[in-house]
Amino acid sequence: ALQANAASEMPPIPDISGDVVQADGDFKIKFSIGTTESGAQYRGLEYFEKIVEQRSDGHIQVELFPGAQLGDDLQAVSALQSGTLEMTAPSTSPLVSMFPKFALFDLPFLFPRPEVADEVLDGEIGQQMLEEASTNGLVAIGWAENGYRQLTNSQQAVSSPEDLAGLKIRTMQNPIHLDIWRTLGANPTPMSFAELFTALEQGVVDGQENPWITIQSSKFNEVQDYATESNHVYTPFITLVSERFWNRLPADYQQLLREAATQMGEYERHVSRAMNDQIKQELVDSGMQITELTPEQVKAFQEKVAPVYDNWRDQIGGELIDEVRAVS
Ligand code: EAX
């Protein structure tokens, strides 16, 4: 069982800077996320709530719904589209069916360091992606991070692609992730995040992959004995607003939400990274066996999974991939 209370050791929520924004009307934002209250994402949302409530002088109220209680990533997005939910921040991966270029972020081993992800997300490419995702009833206003994904399973230590043979791995609802695990020799199956804990507990799947902080905050370590520090994909969170709600907001409040989303994204990434090593250690302390890979072992995964780049190059755009690789 989990002992340490990670939340208490998270970097504190910063003070709010910025003037009060005067505009007409009172508004309520229900903000739903898939990860639970003890994760970095929720901490970021608390900061967002504080900024928005304080700078709107209480005229915008934010209510937080963690742990997929209002639905998983895809369900929350469709609630935004129909206008029954105001905000959510899903992993980009389940949205690839709507925004094909988001497949960029699912390419294995694309970002060698978090700073490269920052440069891409906070630069022109990230801006273009936000604009492209601002359609179909959605307005995209910022980036945060889920982070580097790590493999866990209930069967055995994994240090090579060969060790994956026959392992049933849950993936996000995303065709690139399916391709990755098939190419590596595992037996992947897509599944909603909301169903994942039970599926692991009941042995419907043997394993899954998520960042350490999400593994801990969802208690997957209680039903998974083995983990591999694979860092195989870096997953961003994208901050989305319902377009129906957005269009009711005065422009000054729209601008306030944009600023708050940017500040949340910076802070949440800081929290996520500051917590990463500590949480990995807490997972070890809780009894999880974590396999760290040597550079040669990482290379074996990278070489085996390389064909995935060719399979998705046309959909993503070769130039875009080359541009990102040039940043690295
Ligand atoms: O909202 O589905 C998953 O594995 C993710 O971590 C989820 O997007 C979190």
- What ipTM was assigned to the predicted interfaces of this complex? 0.97
Distance 70 CA to ligand 1 centre (A): 14
Distance 35 CA to ligand 1 centre (A): 7
Q: Is 228 in the pocket of ligand 1 (CB under 6 A)?
A: no
Report the atom number in ligand 1 closest to the C-alpha of 170.
Answer: 4
Q: Which of 33, 69, 73 to mutate to test the pocket of ligand 1 (most atoms within 8 A of CB)?
A: 73
Q: Is 192 in the pocket of ligand 1 (CB under 6 A)?
A: no
Q: Is 214 in the pocket of ligand 1 (CB under 6 A)?
A: yes
Q: Which of 92, 93, 213 to mutate to test the pocket of ligand 1 (most atoms within 8 A of CB)?
A: 93
Distance 93 CA to ligand 1 centre (A): 9
For residue 156, the tally of other CB atoms under 10 A from its CB is 15
Catalogue the E-assigned strands of 245-315. Answer: 289-292
Q: What's the pLDDT at 313?
A: 96
Residue 193, classed as helix, strand or coil, is helix
Distance 209 CA to ligand 1 centre (A): 9
Supply 206's token pair: 């043997």
pTM for the model: 0.96
For 177-187, the pLDDT digits (tens) are: 999 999 999 99
Distance 89 CA to ligand 1 centre (A): 10
Supply 48's token pair: 């967002």
Q: Is 207 in the pocket of ligand 1 (CB under 6 A)?
A: no
Q: What's the pLDDT at 131?
A: 97
What tens-digit pLDDT sequence spans the chain (328 residues)? 344 455 447 899 999 988 999 999 999 999 999 999 999 999 999 999 999 999 999 999 999 999 999 999 999 999 999 999 999 999 999 999 999 999 999 999 999 999 999 999 999 999 999 999 999 999 999 999 999 999 999 999 999 999 999 999 999 999 999 999 999 999 999 999 999 999 999 999 999 999 999 999 999 999 999 999 999 999 999 999 999 999 999 999 999 999 999 999 999 999 999 999 999 999 999 999 999 999 999 999 999 999 999 999 999 999 999 999 998 7
Q: What's the pLDDT at 6?
A: 52
Q: What's the pLDDT at 192?
A: 95
Residue pair 218/18 in contact (Cβ under 8 Å)? The answer is no
DSSP conformation letters of 106-164: GSTT--SSHHHHHHHHSSHHHHHHHHHTS-TTEEEEEEEEEEE-EEEESS----SGGGG
Distance 20 CA to ligand 1 centre (A): 34
Q: What's the pLDDT at 161?
A: 98
User: Degrees (nearest 5) of the Cα angle 118, 119, 123?
Assistant: 110
